Structure 1
Amino acid sequence: MFSFLNIFRIVALLEGVSYLLLLFIATPIKYISGNPEYVKLLGMPHGVLFMLYVVLAFLIMKEMKWNTKTLGIVLIASVIPFGTFYVEKKYLKQVVND
């Protein structure tokens, strides 16, 4: 069954992976070889995933019983490399066991 939480987990994973690809693959290729195609290719999907991540974080805030500090941490994690993986481990992993 698809819930906002399950969709958030998938989006968080994809957003994290797209961010890492953009930072550590596409951007170096752009500046080392002068080829901006990979940034163009990964930029739009990453942007859409980022916006979905933020919207879904607000939607599941009540379901997860997050206070504003926790929501802030979850949102800040989306702009830090590997941050979404931290959110998965720290704030979402316990939900699987329930």
Structure 2
Amino acid sequence: MQGALTRYRIIAWIVGMVLLALTLGMVLKYGPTKDATLVETVGFFHGFLYMVYLIATFDLSRRVPWPFKRMVLVMLAGTVPFLSFWAERHVTRHWVPEPAPALSE
């Protein structure tokens, strides 16, 4: 389960950063500069990385038995700027049980 959590945390941060770059690109595209270069470049990567994010979220939700609604909400967090960062922190702190302490002999 720890590996699934680590994969989820890494891809959540990557998707969040790429989504912020895409949002900046949208501001540039529809702003005074009308430059769509950033959107054309980053848009493809965000789409691909979002699919990886969905797979990592699904994998984590199966290892830690989440209700279907929680899984869908975490998956949708990758579509709203800054929300994937919050969701990653919330998942790590509240929705994944702490590992059992090792028994010392």
TM-score greater than 0.5 by the shorter chain: yes
Taking the aligned partners of 1:68 and 1:55, their CA distance within structure 2 comes to 14
TM-score relative to the length of structure 1: 0.84
Which has the larger helix fraction?
1
- Runs of 4+ in structure 1 displaced over 4 angstroms? 94-97
Match of 1:29 in 2: 28
Match of 1:44 in 2: 44
Taking the aligned partners of 1:19 and 1:26, their CA distance within structure 2 comes to 10
Letter aligned with residue 38 of structure 1: L
Unaligned stretches of 5+ residues in structure 1: none
Alignment RMSD (CA, Å): 2.0
Among all aligned residue pairs of Structure 1 and Structure 2, give the percentage whose two residues are the same amino acid.
27
**Residue aligned with 2:79, SS:** coil
Taking the aligned partners of 1:96 and 1:44, their CA distance within structure 2 comes to 35
The 5-angstrom pairing of residues 62-73 of structure 1 reads: 62-73=62-73
Instruction: Kindly state the Cα deviation for residue 52 of structure 1 after the two structures are TM-superposed.
Output: 0.5
Letter aligned with residue 20 of structure 1: L
Unaligned stretches of 5+ residues in structure 2: 100-105
Structure with max Cα Rg: 2
The 5-angstrom pairing of residues 81-92 of structure 1 reads: 81-92=81-92
